[in-house]
């Protein structure tokens, strides 16, 4: 029964209680009888309301739930053990190269759909999660397809196509990036790989990840393998101050990731931040032999600031006719951001406190960021294994302005200035400076 009716009856009861005690004319109910009747009505209404609430609560315990909100579409069983969530994110970029007289198609000014991903995830009972994520941007590519068994918070087993646990910025979601493209260390880390990893959280102190995978070339994803050799990958991440009293240190995490394996196959190529190919090995080279990587890394967020720093070293045995060489390529990135509107730039991105709405008074969140990232192919050049047009070194200075209109809509503008050492064409020693002005509109849920 409705609360207003309950209040109306209670009020009637109170009014009648205050009136003089009179019997109705013609032998009807006395005032006392009417009071008793009203009292019963109030008690009945109250108990009906309680029973309805009890039944609703019991029903909620056994009813499945359906939710449609800013986090996507989700369905869950009453105990939340079985669930299905559908999300997505789409990034539409505009890439414009300034002072670029080069007619190469890769540096053509363009609009493109950088990522168009559907994320299907959920749980199959209380201890199994799953995630399937295809990307439909350029062609249909399966990015993630794995299941995770949660034996304990500190002991989980994840099997399938997944990000190898190595590169820090690689492990960050493509939807949460501060700049449109990840820095150079990511180009030395494995991307997605098929395998199994044991991982877990050690309280709030940190987490570990250790796995066995097929093995990938630098920056690449693979869905199969061409040899019997497998790569071991591991990462330790420490957050020793997460539960501490020092606010400024709570958001600090640091660690190291790496791989150890044997590669047999084509040598990788590398691109600039503007996505032009800037390094390849010379013809006749193959990746043949030991391949190790190490990635020390750090992320911190405190207040409206964040800092990301990563170094990567990739050592690969390269075979060429008449020689076997171990080539080292290393890269680094230091990236900082400041959310001007005061929100915290967390690992998962920025959620505006006052989202933008047409006709509303919120403007979302504005984030300024700057970075420097570089990659050094000098060793390959010194060993005469680099292609003639390959650069020796690339250093990119970038600034970004990100407008987080809502938790689901973001507009990013980057300017990235890349200087090269070597790789020049037409008699020039150095490749032309790349000036990329890029913009992205991303919606996600």
Partner 1 sequence: MHRILTLLAVVALSATAADTTLLNVSYDPTRELYADFNAAFAKHWQEKTGKSVQIDQSHGGSGKQARSVIDGLAADVVTLALGYDIDVIAEKAKLLPADWQQRLPHNSSPYTSTIVFVVRAGNPKGIKDWDDLVRSGIKVVAPNPKTSGGARWNYLAAWAYALKRNGGDEAKAEDFVRRLYANVPVRDGGARGSTITFSERGIGDVLLGWENEAYFLTAGDGAKKYEIVTPSISILAEPPVAVVDKVAKKRGTTEVAQAYLEYLYTPEGQEIAARHHYRPRDAEVAAKHASSFATLELVTIDAVFGGWKKAQETHFNDGGVYDRIAAE
Residues that bind partner 1 (CB under 8 A): 40, 43-44, 46-48, 51, 54-55, 62
Cα 79 from Cα 133, distance rounded (Å): 25
CB 212 within 8 A of CB 196: yes
Task: For the CB of residue 34, give the shortest distance to partner 1 in the complex, in Å.
Answer: 13
Task: For the CB of residue 49, give the shortest distance to partner 1 in the complex, in Å.
Answer: 10
Cα 316 from Cα 260, distance rounded (Å): 10
Backbone angles phi, psi at 252, to 5 degrees: -95, 130
Cβ proximity to partner 1, 36 vs 112, nearer residue: 36
Q: What is the DSSP string of 164-205?
A: -S--HHHHS-TTS-SSSS--HHHHHS--EEEEEEEEEEETTT
| Residue of 131, 123, 120, 118 lying closest to 83 (CA atoms) | 123
Cβ proximity to partner 1, 62 vs 140, nearer residue: 62
Task: For the CB of residue 64, give the shortest distance to partner 1 in the complex, in Å.
Answer: 14
**In this structure, what DSSP letter does residue 24 have?**
P
CB 404 within 8 A of CB 365: yes
Task: For the CB of residue 30, give the shortest distance to partner 1 in the complex, in Å.
Answer: 14
Task: For the CB of residue 124, give the shortest distance to partner 1 in the complex, in Å.
Answer: 18
Q: What distance lies between CA 410 and its chain's CA centroid? A: 14
Backbone angles phi, psi at 304, to 5 degrees: -90, 10
Task: For the CB of residue 79, give the shortest distance to partner 1 in the complex, in Å.
Answer: 10
Backbone angles phi, psi at 330, to 5 degrees: -130, 160
| Residue of 435, 418, 1, 420 lying closest to 183 (CA atoms) | 418
Backbone angles phi, psi at 325, to 5 degrees: -130, 150
Task: For the CB of residue 26, give the shortest distance to partner 1 in the complex, in Å.
Answer: 18
Write out the H or E segment, with its range, that includes residue 379: helix 378-382
Cβ proximity to partner 1, 48 vs 64, nearer residue: 48
Task: For the CB of residue 47, give the shortest distance to partner 1 in the complex, in Å.
Answer: 5
Q: What distance lies between CA 264 and its chain's CA centroid? A: 31
Cβ proximity to partner 1, 48 vs 204, nearer residue: 48
Task: For the CB of residue 74, give the shortest distance to partner 1 in the complex, in Å.
Answer: 23
Helices 3-18, 31-62: inter-axial angle, 10-degree rounding: 160
Cβ proximity to partner 1, 39 vs 325, nearer residue: 39
Cα 321 from Cα 282, distance rounded (Å): 11
Cβ proximity to partner 1, 43 vs 110, nearer residue: 43
Q: What is the DSSP string of 215-267?
A: ---TT---SS-SSS--EEEEEEEE-TTTTSS-HHHHTEEEEEEEEEEEEEEPP
Cα 443 from Cα 40, distance rounded (Å): 57
Cβ proximity to partner 1, 47 vs 110, nearer residue: 47
Cβ proximity to partner 1, 62 vs 139, nearer residue: 62
Q: What distance lies between CA 223 and its chain's CA centroid? A: 21
Task: For the CB of residue 44, give the shortest distance to partner 1 in the complex, in Å.
Answer: 5
Cβ proximity to partner 1, 33 vs 247, nearer residue: 33
Cβ proximity to partner 1, 59 vs 110, nearer residue: 59
**In this structure, what DSSP letter does residue 32 have?**
H
Angle at 368 (CA atoms; ends 433, 89), nearest 5 degrees: 90
Cβ proximity to partner 1, 51 vs 138, nearer residue: 51
Task: For the CB of residue 41, give the shortest distance to partner 1 in the complex, in Å.
Answer: 9
């Amino acid at each position: 029964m409705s609360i207003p009716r309950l209040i109306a009856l209670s009020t009637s009861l109170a009014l009648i209680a205050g009136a003089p005690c009179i019997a109705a004319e013609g032998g009807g109910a006395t005032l006392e009888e009417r009071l008793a009747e009203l009292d019963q009505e109030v008690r009945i209404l109250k108990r009906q309301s309680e029973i309805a609430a009890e039944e609703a609560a019991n029903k909620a315990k056994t009813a499945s739930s359906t939710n449609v909100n800013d986090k996507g579409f989700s369905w869950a069983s009453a105990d939340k053990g079985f669930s299905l969530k559908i999300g997505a994110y789409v990034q539409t970029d505009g890439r414009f190269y300034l002072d670029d007289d080069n007619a190469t198609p890769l540096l053509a000014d363009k609009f493109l759909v950088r990522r168009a991903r559907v994320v299907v995830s959920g749980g199959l009972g209380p201890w199994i999660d799953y995630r399937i994520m295809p990307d439909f941007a350029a062609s249909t590519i399966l990015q993630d397809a794995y299941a995770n068994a949660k034996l304990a918070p500190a002991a989980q087993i994840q099997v399938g196509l997944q990000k190898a646990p190595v590169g820090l910025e690689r492990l960050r979601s493509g939807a949460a990036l501060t700049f449109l493209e990840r820095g150079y260390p990511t180009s030395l880390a494995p991307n997605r790989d098929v395998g199994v990893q044991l991982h877990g959280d050690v309280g709030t102190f940190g987490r570990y990840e250790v796995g066995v995978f097929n093995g990938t070339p630098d920056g690449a994803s693979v869905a199969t393998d061409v040899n019997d050799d497998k790569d071991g990958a591991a990462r330790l991440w420490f957050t020793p101050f997460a539960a501490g009293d020092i606010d400024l240190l709570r958001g600090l995490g640091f660690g190291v990731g790496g791989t150890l394996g044997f590669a047999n196959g084509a040598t990788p190529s590398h691109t600039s931040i503007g996505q032009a190919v800037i390094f390849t090995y010379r013809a006749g080279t193959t990746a043949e032999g030991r391949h190790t990587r190490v990635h020390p890394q750090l992320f911190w967020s405190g207040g409206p600031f964040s800092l990301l720093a990563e170094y990567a070293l990739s050592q690969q045995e390269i075979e060429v006719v008449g020689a076997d060489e171990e080539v080292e390529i290393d890269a680094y990135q230091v990236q900082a951001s400041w959310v001007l509107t005061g929100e915290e730039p967390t690992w998962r991105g920025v959620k505006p406190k006052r989202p933008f709405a047409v006709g509303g008074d919120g403007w979302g969140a504005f984030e300024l960021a700057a970075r420097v990232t570089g990659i050094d192919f000098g060793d390959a050049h010194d060993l005469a294994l680099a292609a003639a047009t390959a650069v020796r070194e690339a250093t990119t200075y970038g600034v970004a302005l990100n407008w987080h209109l809502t938790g689901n809509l973001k507009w990013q503008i980057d300017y990235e200035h890349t200087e090269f050492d070597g790789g020049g064409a037409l008699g020039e020693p150095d490749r032309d400076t790349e000036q990329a002005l890029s913009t992205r509109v991303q919606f996600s849920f």
